[in-house]
Structure 1
Amino acid sequence: MEWLAGRIMLLSGTRRALVAFVAGLIAVFALPPFGIFAAPFLSFPILVWLIDGASGNPDHGVLRRNFPAFLIGWWFGFGYFLGGLWWLGNALLVEADDFAWAVPLAVVGVPAFLAFFYALAAALARILWSDGMGRIAALAFSFGLLEWLRSFVLTGFPWNAIGYAAMPVPLMMQSAAVIGLAGVNMLAVFVFAAPALIGTRKGLGAGLGLAVLLIAAHFGYGFYRLEQPLPPPADPALTVRLVQPLIDQSKKLDDNERAAIFEDHLELTQAPPADGGKRPDIVVWPETAVPFILTENPDALLRISDVLQDGQLLITGAVRAEASGAGQPPRYYNSIYVIDDRGQIVGASDKVHLVPFGEYLPLENLLSTMGLNAVAAAMPGGFSASATRTLLTLPGGKTLYPLICYEAIFPGEIGGDALQGDALLNLTNDAWFGNTPGPYQHFLQARVRSVETGLPLIRDANTGISAVVNGRGEVVTGFPFGTRGFVDTILPGKFSLLISPEEQERNGMLIACLLFGLVVISRVSFILR
């Protein structure tokens, strides 16, 4: 191991960049659909050794002196994000005539941009570098800080945060209920990077000992929480039907297919329960399932009322139109409707966090003059974002916290009022990305939101993965990707959290402070030697 560490430290130029890139690619295998937990234990020690060897000229300023580490972090990040996000290009091929030219920007450009966060993390770590366990703490602190920035800079895109590599299954998700995703990000990097100490020997006992302790706590708390009894369903219990229609995205964009798509959803809605049991209280359709402006089609609402039985509710994704001022075009929202058995809309919520370049065009006045449009927008100008999130209160008093599409990847999107509700509701349409890692990655991140809140998750996707998940992130029932049908299940009860999301965030900050304290102590000791 010492021989390997020495060889990697001495790399330079193209070889160093290539090894960093491959190390980033290796880390991707910890993510869905692979879930190989061991992969980062190889990639992060390589990253540590590369940064060990990235010492710049001491006569240069701070920026130039640490630029080699910046480049190492960028190549590592580029490999990680390229391997984890290449499927973004699939969305542009749905309407290839209009957007195929942008495939390189999605497949290469987005990873290249996101790699700058890891580049800054590596450079900051190098500034704080010492020897032994201190440098592992510096890397964990720096990655944690930059992952936090990635969650909100330019509206944020925390997809595939490093912490998810440490949470492939429910047993390993439960730590998020204590320290949140931010805390998991930092401790995951520390543990993944700890084997680097074997190659340099300094701080080996303390560093590996702490890493083993963290792993034991991670698994131990998971065992403890999974052994706790499941809470009973809320009284009265609700039976939920998930409808997964499996409609190709190209058909959803075809005006001639709209009536058939609508009838396909209705057919699955009115089908009798597969086991001859109780009819569902709530039927759930995916994001933008209704292929037209529902409020402008009273016949469609009438058709829904014909299909729903007495007391049943339909929850569906749909585009909502709202009149603007005189002479102004209407505003359109990506919305969720709750419709009762009389065809009346009794609840609605609009999407708050839109996908840039997908649902709206940043700098629209400038970019639209260049002929650019948002990819997934169904109308000129794209969607408008709602200023606030509206909880869905159902007849009978049950409350659902709505998250449309990728809103489920943002822990910060879930406010404290969510804990007063009965479930999270995530409607999405991952058909844009085909049978790629994207839908599997999306599903994992949504499940972790259940763990953080203790709330069951109702997730409905056009092509999958649709599922009902309990508050421990365990799948109660659902569909794999690429299947058509429906499934009925009782909505699980919610767990009483020992630690609120706000306290989880504070615990994450405490971990950052402890790591930084360890960095300072190690750095001072390193300088004084």
Structure 2
Amino acid sequence: MTSRADAVPRPVRRPVPLSHRVVLATGWGRRAIAALAGACGALAMAPVGFVPAMAVSLTAAVWLIDGSERTAASRSGARRHAWPTLRSAFGAGWWWGFGYFTAGLYWLGAAFLVDADKTAWLMPLGVVALPAVLAIYSGGAFALARALWWPGPARVPALAFALLVAELLRGWLFTGFPWNEIGMALGTNLVLAQGASVIGLHGLTALSVLVFAAPATLADRDVRGRRSLAPAALAALALVGLAGFGAWRLSGGPVPDVAGVRLRIMQPDVFGDGEFTYENKDALLAKYLALSDRATAADRTGLADVTHLIWPESPFPFILSRDPDALDAIGRILPKDTVLVTGAARVEGSQTSAKDPPRYFNAIQVLGHDPGTGTAAVGDTYDKVHLVPFGEYMPFIGLMERLGISQFVPIPGGFTPGTRHRLLRVPGLPPVVPAVCYEAIFSGGLLPPGDEGLDRGVILNVSDDGWFGRTAGPWQHLAQARLRAVEQGLPLIRAANTGVSAIVDPYGRILQELPLGEAGVLDGFLPQSLGPTAFSEMNQVIPLAASCLLLTLLFAVRYGDARRRTRSL
């Protein structure tokens, strides 16, 4: 016989929704969720390029900010205090950013192992300290978003506005380091990246947050207990529209080549094995020349049919323009109608005069054949403007020297930055937009004022990513350089010491590439440019326009939500 007690139905335990678990998390559990969510977002970057990972990351970000007020109240014993709430939001954002930058920039640690005896002890600066500093931007963004917070769909444009402001500041303050901006979640995918031709990387950042944070609202319920489907549906529609635009833009077929231009990119793969020394300079140059003159096919017989030979960033352990033997060796192998464009350190000033001390520049130099002397003569030169902190110059150099910290490139006093961005004049090529190393990651920052809407041209990116070995770093660098081609509607020539060297058309399609970590040469033709894109014509106003649009959307949604709440009372 069943007892009366046994007949009483037991309460059914319903699983706690994931959104509630994130919102209600406290302490180290909350920090771990934030860091893991940020790290998940890094999977959307090259070389993985798993775009949905950013949706997981930003959805969790919304829920973490939702939980800031409760976390602040549990700490302070009060219910509604603005400062503890903002501080809690900042903490969640800092941990989110720390996870994102640690997972996305882990490869920086490889640079500290190149000369391990001197720099291995500094590895925490690259793999921990730098992400910790960069996470301040995302922490500030979460706090700003919380200050603009409003229940319901308005949270999404609030977060989009705050993260856009943070990313703009990250690309500007202290010379800027906009590596893996959130918009690269869309920019890494070739089809979705086509939107950059209209709104640029910063516009893609705003759109990425709007689209990938929208699923957070699926956990919301109105006063009648119904789920809010509209924001996620609109986000999906926007993503489909962007993909449709990209597919349409890529459907036009191959781009015609520039007549009379035959390119050869030399990738020497010389790094980290003791070969790159001044004592070995003659052997190094001989290797470059032999590799450059290599016959790659029956119809490509070395340099005889090449119009432009491209070498990577700073391939010489000496000052090329002041070494007559090197110029003579290049002149002997360089055909009279072939132009060499190479990265090279150059120097101004005197080694012996205290009044005019030497100033070193990381440059791109154009060399042609001098028929009078038979040597190579240096023509136009571009000096790198955006130098890499700790790599090419030392911030707070007095303090750093006392701590025993030196820059990676052993140049006395560090490199001197160039005065301005400008076009490079290369005989036989359309106007060249030069970008040395990580200058190619700055959206809208390559062209001098007045030249943004080039009707023809080519982007030339010379780099040395050998510091980072066979990690994600070189692939991320290539993806960001490729997006500059899409933004400007210009083809891209990329020569990297250890790879990845490539020829990219103005739609961002990689036509040819050399594998990472292999020595070789790449022969190809130069695609024509598309003419000015919408982005190239108005890139200076896009960040402001995107910010104003997000604020307008935020307050419009808040106003509409407030009216609905009033009518329901």
Distance of 2:310 and 2:482 partners within structure 1: 18
Instruction: Please say if 1:259 is aligned against 2:282.
Output: yes
Deviation at 1:448, TM superposition (A): 0.1
Q: Given the alignment, which residue of 262, 267, 284 partners 1:239? A: 262
Partner of 2:382: 349
Name the SS of the counterpart of 2:363 in structure 1. Answer: strand
Partner of 2:251: 227
Distance of aligned partners of 1:196 and 1:60 in 2 relative to their CA distance in 1, 3 Å threshold? closer
Distance of 2:80 and 2:216 partners within structure 1: 28
Partner of 2:120: 100
Partner of 2:420: 388
Partner of 1:426: 461
Partner of 2:5: none
Distance of aligned partners of 1:39 and 1:363 in 2 relative to their CA distance in 1, 3 Å threshold? same
Instruction: Report if aligned partners of 1:45, 1:195 keep a CA contact under 8 Å in 2.
Output: yes
What TM-score does the superposition give when structure 2 sets the normalisation length? Answer: 0.88
Distance of aligned partners of 1:374 and 1:276 in 2 relative to their CA distance in 1, 3 Å threshold? same
Instruction: Report if aligned partners of 2:455, 2:531 keep a CA contact under 8 Å in 1.
Output: no
2:407 is matched by which residue type in structure 1? A
Partner of 2:441: 409
Distance of 2:205 and 2:417 partners within structure 1: 29
Q: Given the alignment, which residue of 215, 233, 237 partners 2:239? A: 215
Distance of 2:407 and 2:279 partners within structure 1: 22
Deviation at 1:155, TM superposition (A): 0.7
Deviation at 1:327, TM superposition (A): 4.0
Q: Given the alignment, which residue of 509, 512, 524 partners 1:477? A: 512
Name the SS of the counterpart of 1:121 in structure 2. Answer: helix
Name the SS of the counterpart of 2:191 in structure 1. Answer: helix
Name the SS of the counterpart of 1:340 in structure 2. Answer: strand
Instruction: Please say if 1:300 is aligned against 2:326.
Output: yes
Distance of aligned partners of 1:237 and 1:171 in 2 relative to their CA distance in 1, 3 Å threshold? farther
Instruction: Please say if 1:52 is aligned against 2:66.
Output: yes
1:361 is matched by which residue type in structure 2? M
Q: Which moved more, 1:155-164 or 1:385-394?
A: 385-394
Partner of 1:460: 495
Distance of 1:302 and 1:341 partners within structure 2: 10
Distance of 1:216 and 1:508 partners within structure 2: 23
Q: Given the alignment, which residue of 364, 386, 402 partners 1:336? A: 364
Q: Which moved more, 1:97-106 or 1:14-23?
A: 97-106
2:508 is matched by which residue type in structure 1? G
Instruction: Please say if 1:121 is aligned against 2:141.
Output: yes
Distance of 1:405 and 1:431 partners within structure 2: 11
Name the SS of the counterpart of 1:194 in structure 2. Answer: helix
Instruction: Report if aligned partners of 1:269, 1:307 keep a CA contact under 8 Å in 2.
Output: no
| Deviations, residues 264-307 of structure 1 (Å, cap 9, x unaligned) | 11111112342424721111110001221112210100100111
Distance of 1:267 and 1:291 partners within structure 2: 18
Q: Given the alignment, which residue of 281, 288, 308 partners 2:307? A: 281
Deviation at 1:323, TM superposition (A): 0.6
Partner of 2:295: 272
Instruction: Report if aligned partners of 2:455, 2:530 keep a CA contact under 8 Å in 1.
Output: no
1:368 is matched by which residue type in structure 2? E
Distance of 1:441 and 1:245 partners within structure 2: 20
Give matches, 1:157-196, under 5 Å: 157-196=177-216
2:515 is matched by which residue type in structure 1? P
Instruction: Report if aligned partners of 2:270, 2:276 keep a CA contact under 8 Å in 1.
Output: no
Deviation at 1:500, TM superposition (A): 3.9
Q: Given the alignment, which residue of 460, 484, 487 partners 2:522? A: 487
Name the SS of the counterpart of 1:371 in structure 2. Answer: coil
Partner of 2:373: none
Name the SS of the counterpart of 1:332 in structure 2. Answer: strand
Instruction: Report if aligned partners of 2:458, 2:492 keep a CA contact under 8 Å in 1.
Output: yes
Deviation at 1:228, TM superposition (A): 2.5
| Deviations, residues 449-502 of structure 1 (Å, cap 9, x unaligned) | 000001000000011000000001000111121111101101000012341424
2:359 is matched by which residue type in structure 1? R
Instruction: Please say if 1:511 is aligned against 2:546.
Output: yes
1:240 is matched by which residue type in structure 2? L
Give matches, 1:31-180, under 5 Å: 31-55=45-69, 56-57=72-73, 62-180=82-200
Name the SS of the counterpart of 2:357 in structure 1. Answer: coil
Distance of 2:522 and 2:93 partners within structure 1: 45
Task: Report the count of equivalent residues.
Answer: 527
Deviation at 1:212, TM superposition (A): 1.7
Name the SS of the counterpart of 1:33 in structure 2. Answer: coil
Instruction: Report if aligned partners of 1:128, 1:523 keep a CA contact under 8 Å in 2.
Output: no
Name the SS of the counterpart of 2:239 in structure 1. Answer: helix
Distance of 1:119 and 1:275 partners within structure 2: 58
Distance of 2:93 and 2:536 partners within structure 1: 31
Structure 1: runs of 5 or more not aligned: none
What TM-score does the superposition give when structure 1 sets the normalisation length? Answer: 0.95
Deviation at 1:206, TM superposition (A): 2.4
Distance of 2:460 and 2:247 partners within structure 1: 27
Q: Which moved more, 1:112-121 or 1:124-133?
A: 124-133
Instruction: Report if aligned partners of 1:291, 1:318 keep a CA contact under 8 Å in 2.
Output: no
Distance of 1:435 and 1:383 partners within structure 2: 26
Deviation at 1:233, TM superposition (A): 2.2
Name the SS of the counterpart of 1:487 in structure 2. Answer: strand
Partner of 2:401: 368
| Deviations, residues 400-431 of structure 1 (Å, cap 9, x unaligned) | 11100000000132225262552000000000
Distance of 2:241 and 2:541 partners within structure 1: 19
Give matches, 1:200-211, under 5 Å: 200-201=220-221, 204-211=228-235
Distance of 2:185 and 2:535 partners within structure 1: 23
Distance of 2:232 and 2:249 partners within structure 1: 26
Distance of aligned partners of 1:511 and 1:112 in 2 relative to their CA distance in 1, 3 Å threshold? same
Distance of 1:79 and 1:151 partners within structure 2: 19
The two structures, once aligned, show a CA RMSD in angstroms of 2.0
1:258 is matched by which residue type in structure 2? K
1:313 is matched by which residue type in structure 2? V
Partner of 2:474: 439
Instruction: Report if aligned partners of 1:183, 1:508 keep a CA contact under 8 Å in 2.
Output: yes
